[in-house]
Amino acid sequence: MMDETEADADEEAWLQLRPVEPLPSQCCGSGCSPCVFDLYHRELARWEAAQASKDRSLLSGEESQSCPSQLSPETFLAFRISAMDRLTEDTYRVRFALPRNCQLGLRPGQHLILRGKVDGLEIQRAYTPISPANAEGYFEVLIKCYPTGLMSQYVKSWSTGDTAFWRGPFGDFFYKANQYSELLMLASGTGLAPMVPVLQSITDNAEDETFVTLVGCFKTFEGIYLKTFLQEQARFWNVRTFFVLSQENSLEKLPWSYREKTRFGRLAQGLIEELVGSCRRKPFALVCGSAEFTKDMARCLLRAGLAEDSYFLF
Which positions ≥6 away from 183 have C-beta within 8 Å?
Answer: 198, 202, 210, 211, 212, 213, 283, 284, 285, 286
Say if residues 247 and 231 touch (Cβ distance below 8 Å): no
Q: What's the distance, CA 278 to chain centroid?
A: 29
Compute the C-alpha angle 277/258/135, nearest 5°: 85
Q: Which of 221, 227, 211 is nearest to 282 (CA)?
A: 211
Tell me whether residue 1 is annotated as binding.
no
List phi, psi (to 5°) of 55: -125, 100
Tell me whether residue 151 is annotated as binding.
yes
**β-strands 284-288, 311-313 pairing:** parallel
Tell me whether residue 2 is annotated as binding.
no
* Strands lying side by side in the sheet with 121-127: 121-127, 111-118, 163-170, 77-86, 91-97, 138-144
Say if residues 115 and 76 touch (Cβ distance below 8 Å): yes
Report the SS3 class of residue 219: coil
Say if residues 24 and 35 touch (Cβ distance below 8 Å): no
Residue ranges of the binding site for FAD: 125, 127, 142, 144, 151-152
Residue ranges of the binding site: 125, 127, 142, 144, 151-152
